[in-house]
Structure 1
Amino acid sequence: MNIQITPLTEDTIPGFHHVLEEIVREQKYLPITEAPPLDTLRTQLLEQLRHHLQHFVAMVDGVVVGWIDIKPKLSLPYRHVGTLGMGVLPAWRNQGLGQALVQLALKAAAELGLNRIELQVFEDNAPAIAFYQKLGFEIEGKFRRHARVGEQYRDALGMARLLEIAH
């Protein structure tokens, strides 16, 4: 098994799209009910990459099995802040891949000058909350009725990690 984590490229967008579709189908982790069409997603991602989106994919034997992205906020008062999103296919969870993705993305974010990384996680996703806490993220607040998935409202927790500021 050959695991590789690389920056997202136009060639890996279809693999990322497949992973996104699989995780969305689980209806547990993401506040969306369907992935955008591949062409729409490709256009969005290529534009975001031009604005310094930090987006990496994890591949096993050349097949995308996970991703992480950190989207820098563009408004001047928040340019030091990035928002983290990630997903790993079920067969590859709890094997260290998520931790490797987060560590690489945080390093890339710090090199870009970001020093606050935020995320939102559903309040009932105890494994993810524990995972992020293990990596230094702290719970900062609760978003009640954050998302509506099907007929159910779901609360989320806001978490953040502060990165070292280079002097």
Structure 2
Amino acid sequence: MSLIVRQVSINDAQGITDVLNPIIIEGLYTVLDTTFTVDEEKEFIAQFPKRGVFTVVVNEDDSKIIGFQNIEPFASYTKAFDHVGIIGTFVSSGSRGQGVSKKLFQSTFEVAKAKGYEKLFAYVRGDNERALAAYLKQGFEVVGVARKHAKVGDVYVDETLIEKFL
């Protein structure tokens, strides 16, 4: 599989929802519990923070988005956190285990450094061992666990807190 990694454009909204919505519906890998329309995703991309990083990976064989990663500023109410970003990673089910996230991380880290980020932080579902392993492989470290931090439907889910210094 030949992969193209690039920054997002508004025209990627359909491809992003095609990756994200099945993950949300599956209910196993994210605490997101509501799917997104293409118009909602377009608005999200249009309003994405200037200092944010939004990377997509495209399968060159069929030009479909198979994964994406984004970084948003940790907080906007103080400059004290300007060096910290919150990262999220999503890979379509049929593309997992094929090096997609590794390619995303390489590009995202580079762009994040250029935008002044020094540290990335993430919340990973406590029962999402595959995602946690992918982050740990990229140098993230576990810094704690927030017990019953999310409630998906009627089920409480722990969140594993991880960080990486760039």
Does the alignment reach a TM-score above 0.5?
yes
The answer for unaligned runs of 5 or more in structure 1 is none
Instruction: Please state if 1:11 is matched with 2:11.
Output: yes
Give per-residue Cα distances to partners, 1:124-148, cap 9 Å, x unaligned: 1222212211111000111111111
Percent identity of paired positions between Structure 1 and Structure 2? 27
2:63 — aligned with what? 62
Question: How far 1:123 sits from its partner (Å)?
Answer: 1.2
TM-score, structure 1 as length reference: 0.91
Moved more, 97-106 or 67-76: 67-76
Distance 2:161 2:10 in 1: 31
SS class of match (1:158): strand
Instruction: State which of 99, 110, 128 in structure 1 corresponds to 2:102.
Output: 99
Does the 8 Å CA contact 2:58/2:64 hold for their aligned counterparts? yes
Instruction: Please state if 1:150 is matched with 2:147.
Output: no
1:125 — aligned with what? 128
2:87 — aligned with what? 84
The count of residues paired between Structure 1 and Structure 2 equals 162
Instruction: Please state if 1:52 is matched with 2:55.
Output: no
State the superposition RMSD in angstroms. 1.3
Question: How far 1:43 sits from its partner (Å)?
Answer: 1.3
Question: How far 1:112 sits from its partner (Å)?
Answer: 0.6
1:71 — aligned with what? 72
SS class of match (2:47): helix
The answer for unaligned runs of 5 or more in structure 2 is none
Moved more, 147-156 or 122-131: 122-131
